[in-house]
Amino acid sequence: MSSGNAPPLDRLVKALTSTISLKIVMAVTGIAGAGFVIFHMLGNLQMFLGREAYNTYAEFMQNLGELKWVARLGLLGILFGHVSTAVLLVQRNTAARPEGYYTQKRKRTSVAAVYMAQLGIVLLLFIIYHILHFTGGMIHTDLGYELVEMGPNGARRDLYTHVINSFSNPLIALTYVAANLALALHLAHGATSMFKTIGFGVGRWKVPVEAIGPAFGVIVGLGNISMPIAVLTGVIGAN
């Protein structure tokens, strides 16, 4: 059952399927995902700079060509890695305690940590919804997905109006707020946990690593939520 003197193939299989290895895949994809989330947020915060800036940014992103597909496939791969290891680990963790406690006291952990998997499911559903909404334009089709405007380089999507129209609908805006709260919580635990899993967070790194998750959660949460709220409260509008 141990792998120390096992044949190379056996050792490789064990090294790839061990609980720690799965956690490392989860952590690495988590770090990549968190990087994307920051990048995505910073791009979209250009909403606050006005229609011109925002639509120019959107145009740039649209015109990345093949690179765009590389990025999309990469993101899909990361998501797949993250979700599939999550499924495997949750299965193992559940199987490890067939009979639960009458009561279980939480001395240390956080709400975020306890509901990590549930938050993950919410986020997965939200990602699908979000892609259908803004990327694919397959739902909420009456809100201006097809709008175009004239930019310096010719016609381009008027994403700004699409966003304003969307978030002006309180139901949609609140959905985004709720989903981003879930994201904030997921990151609050996840962004710390992923560093611990790859062996950081020991000794002098302990305090920074324990702070990074909650800090990251708050920053991403506030940043992302600020947009639907700003639209809903009229801070940014059609101009």
Partner 1 sequence: MSDENMDIKLKVWRQKGPTQAGYFEDHKVSANPHMSFLEMLDVLNEQLLNDGKEPVAFDHDCREGICGACSMVIDGAPHGPRKGTTTCQLHMREYNDGDEIVIEPWRAKAFPVIKDLVVDRRAFDRIQQAGGYVSVSTGSSPDANAIPIGKRDADEAFDYAACIGCGACVAACPNASAMLFVSAKVAHLSLLPQGQVERVERVRKMVDAMDFEGFGGCTNHGECEASCPKTISVDAIGLLNREYMRAGLSRD
* Interaction site with partner 1 (CB under 8 A): 1-4, 11, 14-15, 18-24, 89, 92-109, 113-114, 116, 189, 192-193, 196-203, 206
- Residue closer to partner 1, measured from CB, 95 or 171: 95
Phi, psi for residue 144 in degrees, rounded to 5: 105, 25
- Residue closer to partner 1, measured from CB, 72 or 206: 206
Dihedral, 103, 108, 111, 117 alpha carbons, nearest 10: -80
- Residue closer to partner 1, measured from CB, 101 or 142: 101
Assess contact for 120 and 186: CB atoms under 8 A: yes
CB of 32 to partner 1, least distance (A): 17
Q: Give me the helix-helix angle, 116-130 and 170-197, nearest 10°.
A: 130
Rg from Cα positions in the chain: 21
Assess contact for 20 and 198: CB atoms under 8 A: no
CB of 74 to partner 1, least distance (A): 23
CB of 193 to partner 1, least distance (A): 4
- Residue closer to partner 1, measured from CB, 102 or 171: 102
Token code pair at residue 101: 């406690």
CB of 213 to partner 1, least distance (A): 9
